[in-house]
Amino acid sequence: MRKVMVFGTFDVLHPGHLFLFEQAKQHGHFLIVIVAHDKTAHKVKGHKTTFNEQKRLNAVLSVPVVDFATLGHLDDVYKVLEEYCPDVVCLGYDQQAFTDRLVTELKKRRLQSRIIRLPAYKPEKFKSSLLKKEGVVKSVVTIFS
């Protein structure tokens, strides 16, 4: 069974995220989604999330294609790699956080996970920062709650 992992904040769960999950699942049999803790998301994004970590995790867990979802680790964001030993790590088209050391961390942990950068899905329309600016956050998230 090939395990696929994606990770992110998923603050405003939208069709772009669903596309990410569906595309990732095509690279394996079991999709693991790691949701960033509030503190980690704040550090990466430079601002607080709209929804707290538990609400974001619950939204991700409600997506049928997701087989397992959990919060990441505060002390070592790469620890999930060792815990779940994914065969494939899929990255979003614009994902930058923690990707610069991903190859190094995989080697350090003696993992041979394949890294795949996935394509975008209508990034001019479905991007969390755009949706927040347009004030459609509540209506988008309500669909998936």
CATH, residue 42: 3.40.50.620
pLDDT in tens, 17-70: 899 999 999 999 999 999 999 999 898 888 888 889 999 999 999 999 999 999
Q: How many domains does the chain have?
A: 1
Helices and strands of the chain, counted as H and E runs:
7, 5
Give the three-state DSSP class for 32.
strand
pLDDT greater at residue 94 or residue 143? 94
Domain extent at residue 69: 3-144
Instruction: Indicate if the alpha-carbon torsion angle 119, 58, 37, 133 is positive or negative.
Output: positive
The string of pLDDT tens digits covering residues 84-107 is 999 999 999 888 888 889 999 999
Q: Tell me the Ramachandran region of residue 135: left when phi exceeds 0, alpha when psi lies from -120 to 50, beta otherwise.
A: left
Give the global pTM: 0.83
